[in-house]
Copies of this chain bind each other. A is one copy, B any other.
């Protein structure tokens, strides 16, 4: 999916919500465990319940991988079930030497047909390069939402840049903003504005709203640009809103409430 198609979806749905599919057998409603593939059954109902409010889905690959070969089948079925006009993100945080990154790209772009993949930048340009592909996006970790972001990402370097700014600057030299997003945690407060300065025209994938404590309004205030430029993720807050038989209904209500807030913000910041 290209940038203008993504922006069209955002304007049509008046939403920049990404729903994280961190599907965990220990957290889904017990009655689903009777099915052959409880993970897919759960995802299917969550997708049906939220697809009018979400412009992106982000399966967290760790959760599928931990189920062994069966988990990868659940992932494939989930991908096949996501409507064509919704953006898909493989939250995999891969990155390795060139020939290995090429293998990861093949897996997620060719075999599973994801629109994008999250990338850990530590190994530099030749670890990112193989993910550059016509019609696909790389989403590079810049400033993450977790406490450990302070350990290395915020270190100041000789140039005056902090490490996350170096990551942004170099990745922007390597890739077109229409195929390159950055992960920016909603929990980073004022720093979101500094990331926006470093990357004025890239989309941000923003985790950390909800359970992790980030504010949607602050994210929009500091990070929103003319064509929105934001995908804000919520995982647990939506998909585990209830663990009873009404889980899909509750997920739908949560997604609708976030979408309503997003609609107001899109209007307030003149996106649509």
A residues whose Cβ falls under 8 Å from a Cβ of B: 22, 60, 62-63, 65-66, 68-70, 72-73, 76, 91, 93-101, 103-104, 106-107, 111, 120-128, 141, 144-153, 155-159, 163, 166-167, 170, 207
Contacts and interface: CB of A to CB of B under 8 A. Distances in A.
B146 A124 contact: yes
For the complex of A and B, 6 pairs with smallest distance between CB atoms: A124-B148, A124-B151, A69-B69, A62-B103, A120-B120, A126-B148
Given A62-B103, A93-B123, 16 more contacts: A62-B107, A66-B107, A69-B70, A95-B120, A97-B146, A120-B120, A120-B122, A121-B151, A122-B153, A123-B148, A124-B147, A124-B151, A126-B148, A152-B170, A155-B159, A156-B157
B163 A146 contact: no
11 contacts: A62-B104, A66-B103, A66-B106, A68-B72, A93-B94, A97-B144, A121-B122, A126-B146, A126-B147, A156-B158, A157-B157
A155 B152 contact: no
Contacts of A153: 122-124
A167 B152 contact: yes
Contact of A124 (B107, B152, B170): B152
A126 B60 CA distance: 17
A100 B106 CA distance: 23
A22 B103 CA distance: 10
Contacts of A157: 155-158, 163
Contacts of A76: 68
Contacts of A68: 72, 76, 111
A101 B147 CA distance: 14
A80 to B, nearest CB: 13
